[in-house]
Amino acid sequence: MDKPKSSAELAERIAQWRTHLLARGAIEPSDADELEDHLRNQVAALSSAGLTAEEAFLVAVKRIGQQEEMTREFARVHSDRLWKQLVASPVPDGGASMEARTEAWVVVGLAVIAALSLKVPELFGQRLDPDAEGGGSFYSRNLSFFVLPCLVAYFAWKRRLDRVTCAWLAATFVAAGVIVNAFPFSPQGSTELIAALHLPIALWLPVGIAYAGGRWSDPAERMNFVRFSGELAIYYVLIALGGGVLTGLTVGLFSFIGVDAEWFATEWMLQCGAVGAFIVGAALVELKKSVVENMAPVLTRVFAPMLAVLLVALLGTMAWTGNALALEREVLIAFNLLLMLVLGLLLYALSARDSLARPNWFDGVLLVLVLCALALNTVLLAAMSARIVEYGSSANKLAALGENLILVSNLVGSAWIYTQFLRGRQSFAALERWQTAYLPVYSVWAGIVVVVFPPLFGFA
């Protein structure tokens, strides 16, 4: 006779179980629907085998397993969700807080090492200030080596990288260091500048490999690295703003008591801070993935439509007035920057998107943006084709042209897959795969520019 009562009770207990499941973040309502369906099936089967509703519910819940374990598994599959949900305050038990303290020491230690290593060459007469006598060139070539090894070391420690990977990463850095310092660059030459500019891009790949902790082949892990890079940039800018204020205050306040602190502020605070902030920023991004996480996608949402309108207007104006692009020296570099911006917007829009969601208007905006950028770039390359033949003559132009081609091929591929996706013939995951598979190309090209270009152009 108590059947209605127990079924109402059962419904309530299932609802409760569901609420607990959802409270953990990594599981979304549609997943909960799926799990609830499973639970109800199980309860029904057990009930028909003779158990009471109460017993059936308990057994079914037990069989479906511990919620913590399940959430962890869901979080691993949907690591993008985890990224948004890892809110700043995980409940630390004894072991976790101990680990957090060790991590804090490691981070501070590495930041200090990075900052001080910047100062060591000054003992041997190198100067950071390019205007100073004998200054600039050593530091511009080696800037990557003050920051990136510490960053890699941090991830190697954090991800417990195996020795083989560590050895490879170390070997890469040593090889890069030997190459850029052994090359007999002519002073003030353009190949040295090009090498200095491309080296960080080339070495960003080993950073990514360390970040991925041995799972670099996994597209999801690469996407996480893209997210990480974007957030690190945002954190770095924020820290730099704070550091600038602090430096200004230091100089100002000491001047009030008649002490000149400017040498300390510029030589030590600014320089060491700029290097150390990199490591600290990276650790913060790791620690509190979610706090500023939403920034890169928000910026993308704001600027992608605006840039799309700008490009359409530019194309329209060019068609209307018949004005051609002026083929000045900077135009290729400017277009590379434009393509990079478009690609960045695309990448961060992708990184924040639910990969199972249907196409919406924003996807259309992105596609328009990509197509406009490609159209403009085609106009540029067509106009330049006559002069492309002479490009072999200069390292600068060849490097810029190579970058242009790399960016264009990525965007052509993206536009193609995006069109297919909007027409429902491709899944969104294909676009993600394309972008993540493409990531090493940038670094490899930058590596080629660093290693091959200087000898090719006689270190001029």
Partner 1 sequence: MNIGKDLVAASATPLVLAILAEDESYGYAILKRVAELSDGRLQWTDGMLYPVLHRLERLEYIAGHWQTPARGRRRKYYRITNRGRAALALQREHWQEVDATLRRVWPLAAEAKS
* Exposed e or buried b per residue across 33-70, where buried means at least 16 C-beta atoms within 10 angstroms of its C-beta: eebbeebeebbeebbeeebebeebbeebbeebeebeeb
Separation CA 434–CA 413 (nearest Å): 8
Nearest approach, Cβ of residue 65 and partner 1 (Å): 4
Cβ proximity to partner 1: between 53 and 75 the closer is 75
Q: Helix, strand, coil % (nearest 5) of the chain?
A: 80, 0, 20
Nearest approach, Cβ of residue 51 and partner 1 (Å): 16
Closest listed residue to residue 80, CA positions, set 442, 443, 428: 428
Cβ proximity to partner 1: between 29 and 455 the closer is 29
Nearest approach, Cβ of residue 15 and partner 1 (Å): 13
Question: In this structure, are residues 291 and 88 in contact, taking their beta carbons and an 8 Å threshold?
Answer: yes
Q: Rg of the chain's alpha carbons, rounded to an integer? A: 27
Question: What contacts 59, CB < 8 A, 6 or more positions away?
Answer: 42, 46, 51
Nearest approach, Cβ of residue 16 and partner 1 (Å): 16
Nearest approach, Cβ of residue 205 and partner 1 (Å): 24
Nearest approach, Cβ of residue 9 and partner 1 (Å): 19
Nearest approach, Cβ of residue 436 and partner 1 (Å): 13
Cβ proximity to partner 1: between 40 and 301 the closer is 40
Nearest approach, Cβ of residue 41 and partner 1 (Å): 4
Q: List interacting residues with partner 1 (CB under 8 A).
A: 30-31, 33-38, 40-42, 63-66, 69-70, 73-74, 76-78, 220, 355-356, 427, 429
Diameter of the chain measured on Cα atoms: 97
3 state DSSP class of 100: helix
Cβ proximity to partner 1: between 47 and 144 the closer is 47
Cβ proximity to partner 1: between 35 and 195 the closer is 35
Nearest approach, Cβ of residue 351 and partner 1 (Å): 15
Cβ proximity to partner 1: between 77 and 178 the closer is 77
Question: Tokens 């199980």 — which residue?
Answer: 42
Question: In this structure, are residues 111 and 279 in contact, taking their beta carbons and an 8 Å threshold?
Answer: yes
Cβ proximity to partner 1: between 64 and 314 the closer is 64
Separation CA 449–CA 444 (nearest Å): 9
* Exposed e or buried b per residue across 148-174, where buried means at least 16 C-beta atoms within 10 angstroms of its C-beta: bbbbbbbbbbbeebeeebeeebeebbe
Nearest approach, Cβ of residue 20 and partner 1 (Å): 13
Cβ proximity to partner 1: between 77 and 167 the closer is 77
435 class by beta-carbon count within 10 Å (0-12 exposed, 13-18 middle, 19+ buried)? buried
Cβ proximity to partner 1: between 403 and 432 the closer is 432
Cβ proximity to partner 1: between 63 and 387 the closer is 63
290 class by beta-carbon count within 10 Å (0-12 exposed, 13-18 middle, 19+ buried)? middle
Cα-based torsion angle of the residue sequence 107, 112, 117, 122 in order, rounded to the nearest 10 degrees: 160
Phi-psi region of 90 (alpha: psi -120 to 50; beta: other; left: phi over 0): beta
Phi-psi region of 72 (alpha: psi -120 to 50; beta: other; left: phi over 0): alpha
